[in-house]
Amino acid sequence: MSYESPNPVLWKTGSLKRLLLASLSICLTLLGLELSVRMLAPQDLKYWDSSDFRRILSTTPHFVENIPNATSNFLGVPVSINDLGLRGKATSLAKPPRTFRVLVVGDSITFGYGVKDTEAYPPVLEQLLNRDCRGRYEVLNGAALGGGLGDYYHFLTTKGHLLQPDLLIVGIALNDILPYTESGETGEQSAEFRMKASWIRRLNHFLLTHSHMYVASYSRLKSWLYASRLLDMNQLQGWNLLALKPPSPSQAMAWQGTYRMLATIIDDSTAQHVPVVLLVFPLRMQMSPCR
């Protein structure tokens, strides 16, 4: 019995048709799911979008800051930024008489990720101080989502010291250990890093602001991927969580840059006669898994 090899042209044509049919089926299925979610369980497309109250400067080194006088609904809770770029109620630039003013800077933990303006720890601290201590205390929330030590220093030098704080609290997490330059720039702010990550971040942002199905499944899918260890937090974050990785030249550079930025913030505040408290937050997702 003779064996006759398949015609390469016909085989390629058939494979192409099957591929196109499969792609069309997937697209129609996703479209059907999207329409179903929009009709049966419509989502808030602004839920994950912080662009109404947060911006990244277009000039190098692209610091993160709050947008003055901005209001939004983020993660299901209202967010308000006053005219000084602080989260929460309106505050005068000049410190009221006989007031002990505390200024707090930090990232999303200090800002109050997913909680109301009054539920972040700076206003809670203010309530506790004024309830249990004599005198009048004011605690200002100068944090910004996704900020790092360079962003904190930028805020302090442009606005922070004008607020005449009596005490500065700097909130720090392990993902603040980054290779800062003397200007406060990090590897995450470099053009090379943004080019590598931009298409992933842009796609994610586009889907979160346009797809009801993606919004509905985003947090659950992300949590499941982390819990099942199909996604590694250390691998996804680039420079982030570098402090938890094995010793390397990059890690040494990150610690050196971090110490330098902390020293710069402390020295600058000391020159303004403002004591500094470093408040360190461990993050659960950064801890070693328990078995």
pLDDT tens-digit readout, 100-112: 999 999 999 999 9
d(CA 216, CA 45): 10
- What string of pLDDT tens digits covers the 291 residues of the chain? 555 555 565 556 767 788 888 888 889 998 998 898 889 888 888 888 899 999 988 887 788 999 999 999 999 899 999 999 999 999 999 998 889 999 999 999 999 999 999 999 999 999 999 987 776 899 999 999 988 999 999 999 999 999 999 999 999 988 888 888 887 777 554 444 444 555 667 788 888 888 899 888 887 887 777 677 666 555 544 445 777 778 888 889 889 999 999 999 999 999 999 999 999 998 765 555 554
Asked whether residue 2 is domain-assigned, the answer is no
Same domain, 76 and 185: yes
Closest residue by Cα to residue 101 from 115, 113, 84: 84
- pLDDT, residue 198, reads 58
Same domain, 60 and 37: no
Asked whether residue 234 is domain-assigned, the answer is yes
Same domain, 20 and 160: no
Asked whether residue 97 is domain-assigned, the answer is yes
d(CA 29, CA 34): 9
Asked whether residue 244 is domain-assigned, the answer is yes
- pLDDT, residue 9, reads 58
Name the residue with tokens 């006088």: 69
Cβ count near 38 (within 10 Å): 14
Asked whether residue 1 is domain-assigned, the answer is no
Same domain, 37 and 138: no
Same domain, 17 and 113: no
Same domain, 17 and 103: no
Same domain, 29 and 92: no
- pLDDT, residue 107, reads 93
Cβ count near 114 (within 10 Å): 12
Same domain, 37 and 162: no
Asked whether residue 72 is domain-assigned, the answer is yes
Asked whether residue 79 is domain-assigned, the answer is yes
State the total domains in the chain.
Answer: 2
Task: Kindly tell me the number of DSSP H helices and DSSP E strands found in the chain.
Answer: 8, 8
Same domain, 35 and 119: no
Same domain, 38 and 60: no
- pLDDT, residue 233, reads 54
Same domain, 26 and 140: no
- pLDDT, residue 175, reads 84
- pLDDT, residue 237, reads 46
Structural domain harbouring 145: 54-286
Containing 12, the helix (H) or strand (E) segment is helix 8-40
Asked whether residue 47 is domain-assigned, the answer is no
Q: Is 6 exposed, middle or buried (0-12, 13-18, 19+ CB in 10 A)?
A: exposed
Same domain, 106 and 201: yes
